Homo-oligomer: A and B are copies of this chain.
């Protein structure tokens, strides 16, 4: 497929391009598409398991579609390195919009040990942006540092909470709250909303707090309006700094020699060599090489 086909919104071309992004073979294509991006609003939706993120994303899509906008959804599951694909396949089939031509849904699971899912996801948003979608939503399954990183790459980060979850889940929230542009208390018809609001007020977060009941659509139009009000340009440099670093990291990792790694691991496991010395030598060789080139 060509960049022109992707830009024209051709579904088959887009799906093939998305597969190339996932297998990290789309560098040239993305470089060609980059000048034609920057129009879509990229929204990350993350939060605790069971918070109703999928339902909320479906409802946001419904409101955006009613306003005549097209929507791309990327469902990301960093915690399922092996079987995530199947689960996210279910996610797609369960969506109310999977037969709407104005909605494109794509799942992404961890693409293997090299990491870089945040980068791959950001590339995918760029692809959907270039394909002309007005709103691109990145929805994460699960919760963890990866989700924080993925959320940081969206222009607007929405963190979804629910009243009355256990202490463990409350603990998990902590890292996410600081990256939120908007906090959503979903399932706001449940007990414990007031308490959660008070807890959030104690945290003195900069983000506004909105309440929704995703299952019946309450508060979703207001949420979309609030998303649109976030000043996305303010943190653009910060986002690119993070994203470029991740991109370089991904590429540098590819330079590590597997042969060297196998040999060194065997030696260290037999305790013939000390791992810190082994790594030091490897990196010094690299530093020497860098000096030589200047």
Does B237 contact A269, Cβ atoms closer than 8 Å?
A: yes
The answer to whether the Cβ of A264 comes within 8 Å of any Cβ in the partner chain is: yes
The answer to whether the Cβ of A31 comes within 8 Å of any Cβ in the partner chain is: yes
Segment from A11-19, A64-72, A207-215, A275-283 that makes contact with B? A275-283
Residues of B within 8 A of A288 (CB): 293
Q: A31 to B280, alpha carbons, bound, how many Å?
A: 10
Residues of B within 8 A of A115 (CB): 145
* A171 smallest CB distance to B (angstroms): 5
Does A241 contact B261, Cβ atoms closer than 8 Å?
A: yes
Residues of B within 8 A of A166 (CB): 49-50
What mask results when residues 218 to 254 of chain A are scored 1 for a CB within 8 Å of chain B, else 0? 0000000000000000001111111111011101110
Residues of B within 8 A of A101 (CB): none
**A241 in contact with B255 given A79-B143, A148-B81, A236-B269 (CB within 8 Å):** no
Which of B169, B175, B239, B256 is within 8 Å of A248, CB to CB?
Answer: B256
Q: A34 to B245, alpha carbons, bound, how many Å?
A: 32
Residues of B within 8 A of A269 (CB): 236-237, 239-240
* A153 smallest CB distance to B (angstroms): 12
Residues of B within 8 A of A34 (CB): 274-276
Q: Is the interface of A mostly helix, strand, loop or mixed?
A: helix
What mask results when residues 17 to 34 of chain A are scored 1 for a CB within 8 Å of chain B, else 0? 000000000011011001
* A260 smallest CB distance to B (angstroms): 9
> Which of A252, A256, A264, A279 is packed against the most chain B CB atoms within 10 Å?
A279
Q: Chain B residue with minimal CB distance to A147?
A: B144
Residues of B within 8 A of A87 (CB): 171, 174
Does A293 contact B289, Cβ atoms closer than 8 Å?
A: yes
Does B175 contact A144, Cβ atoms closer than 8 Å?
A: no
Q: A218 to B241, alpha carbons, bound, how many Å?
A: 51
Which of B30, B142, B239 is within 8 Å of A168, CB to CB?
Answer: B142
* A82 smallest CB distance to B (angstroms): 5
Residues of B within 8 A of A292 (CB): 289, 292-293
Does B237 contact A265, Cβ atoms closer than 8 Å?
A: yes
What mask results when residues 127 to 154 of chain A are scored 1 for a CB within 8 Å of chain B, else 0? 0000000000000011111111000000
Does B145 contact A117, Cβ atoms closer than 8 Å?
A: yes
